[in-house]
Chains A and B, each alone.
Chain A
Amino acid sequence: MHVVILSGSTVGSKTKTAMSVIEAKLRNQYDHLIVDMIDLKDYQLVFSDGRHYLDYDGDTVYVTEKIMQADLIFIGTPIFQASIPGTLKNIFDLLPTHAFKEKVVGLVVTAGSQKHYLVVEQQLKPILSYMKAIVSSQYVFIEERDFHFQTIVNDDVQFRLQALVEDTLLLKDSYNEMRQKLEAKYDF
């Protein structure tokens, strides 16, 4: 099973720090996963101009192909100006309409203020639903004070990240099982 961990910002370090915790948990606790960490800070992506994602080159086609090939995606996003960052929205714009069909997505949010709690609910989830993702219902919301020098210092956050990993994998496994059952009926 292919897993992509996407750190959706080119600014700051908190989202990357949280996604590194997810990465470590996946690598240490599961043998059957092929894990790719994509930190958008490390890539030079162009803005979407509407073309098919395979028609881009360089980092843009590398990142979009990795996402399209994934079965499971963990998306980490900061909240800027009461919104997801443009770098993450650009990823969605680069992909086809139904890019996340049959993919399960887990969400991690970092923010400077509790006021941003519903941004994911109101902005990110509708985008993911439109693109046909199956979104793990609970997301992990992490605040400024939970970090110290690029580590997470709040144990509760560690437990919530662990629960997100477990729940998202469980959702993917259950979905796969149910889908296989459905497809077995087709007889082709």
Chain B
Amino acid sequence: MSMHDYRINNKNGLEFGIYTLGDHLMNPETGKKISAKQRLKEIIELAKLSDEAGLDFFSVGESHQEGFVTQAHTTVLSAISQVTKQIKLGSSATIISTSDPVRVYEDFATIDLISNNRVEIIAGRASRIGLFELLGYDVSDYEGLFEEKFALLNQINNEAYVTFEGQYRPKLHHAHVLPRSENPLPIWRAVGGTSASAIKAARHGVPMHLAMLGGPVSTFKSVIQTYRETLHQSGFDPTHYPVGTAGFFHVAKTTTQAQKEMYSYINEGMKRTNGQGFSKQAFAHGKDKHNVMNIGSVEEVIEKLLYQHDVFKHQRYIGQMDFGGVPFNQLMRNIDIIGEKILPKIRQYTRPKEEN
């Protein structure tokens, strides 16, 4: 596989996308929670607006715990594929451990065909484990399930007829998995921020999508460096494998205003989904240029994105701006600003020089 196979064109510069975990939480500013129906429609609408504004990527997460609404994320992506034209679509992330890779491939290959080859899979292990019981798996197989099923998913993606024998799924003998996408699907490994997980992605020769909620750029640089070094050591050419990063995003007139418009959502949202809020001090440090959190004035966020690209040399950044019950008008405003002010600058400065 090469960058081209992963549908990445370096000549276009850094790709910019939006991701949602599909959380469905109370707006802490109003104390109100919209219906599941409205939240789903707003996610689909957000994808449509992202497409119209020229963003490169939009992805939807799979989470089966309380406070989420996109458990059936492939169904949501399928709906999104029908209201968008250009934007690439994906999952953030698909929990491959608790699904049958055959069904996952069938779903994504189908969406890829109906969306004209626009869909990708980012596969993860799940940070919470309620879904193991819900879907009938044993959590003590947490690592084994992921590694075996992720490998099988990649095999199905590359071979139309699959013969497989493993521990967690019945055998496949020369099974024809259909429909086939016209080209292999880009399949990334979701990495939660640790080098250990990045090393696993590299050893298997798969691209890495790295979550970074906050912290120094230099810390994540070291994870990315480790990933590329391990690719090399494992016999893969690092220049063939894209790196994506994911983290909080919001812009406003000033950085203080942007922080004000985001803190309560992130803090309360994390309390509700994870039991611990987001430290105010850590959030305040987030505005520093050397911190990965892209929350600030338009100018400062552009500067941060360019700095991160300079350090990471990554191929894609995706921002999370809807976590914790953020009202839809705030999301629409962001999309407008991304399209009008951020994308032109990012593309101008991250495209290879001769292409400017």
Residues of A near any B CB (own CB < 8 A): 49-55, 65, 68, 96, 98-99, 101-102, 182-183, 186-188
Minimum distance in angstroms from B273 CB to a CB of chain A: 9
Q: Say whether B256 contacts A187, CB under 8 Å.
A: yes
**B259–A52 contact, CB under 8 A?**
no
Dominant secondary structure of chain B at its interface with chain A? helix
Q: In angstroms, how far is the closest chain B Cβ from the Cβ of A142?
A: 33
CB contacts (< 8 Å) of A183 on chain B: these are 280-281
Which chain B residues border A49 with CB–CB below 8 Å?
A: 139-140
User: Is A186 within 8 A of B279, CB to CB?
Assistant: no
Asked whether, in the complex, the Cβ of B275 is within 8 Å of the Cβ of A182, the reply is no
Interface contacts (Cβ under 8 Å), in number, total: 44
Is B256 a contact of A188 with CB atoms below 8 Å? yes
Within B284-323, the residues touching A (CB, 8 Å) are 284
Give Cα A53 to B259, complex, Å. 29
Question: What 6 new A-B contacts, CB under 8 Å, besides A52-B275, A54-B128, A55-B129?
Answer: A55-B128, A68-B275, A182-B281, A186-B283, A188-B259, A188-B284
Query: B130 touching A55 by the CB < 8 A rule?
Result: yes
Shortest C-beta distance, B139 to chain A (Å), equals: 7
For the complex, give the distance between the alpha carbons of A52 and B280 in Å: 22
CA gap between A164 and B142 in the complex, in Å: 43
Query: Are B260 and A52 in contact, with the CB atoms below 8 A?
Result: no
Q: Is the CB of B275 within 8 A of A54?
A: yes
Q: Which B residues contact A (CB, under 8 angstroms)?
A: 127-130, 139-140, 142, 256, 259-260, 263, 274-276, 279-281, 283-284
CB <8 Å contact, B280 and A186:
yes
Q: Are A187 and B260 in contact (CB under 8 A)?
A: yes
Across the interface, A52 reaches (CB within 8 A) one of B128, B263, B279, namely: B128
Shortest CB-to-CB span from B296 to chain A, Å, is 11
Provide a sorted-by-A list of 14 A–B residue pairs whose CB atoms are within 8 angstroms.
A51-B139, A52-B274, A52-B275, A53-B275, A55-B129, A65-B275, A96-B275, A98-B276, A102-B279, A186-B259, A186-B280, A187-B260, A188-B263, A188-B283
Smallest distance from the beta carbon of B182 to chain A beta carbons, Å?
40
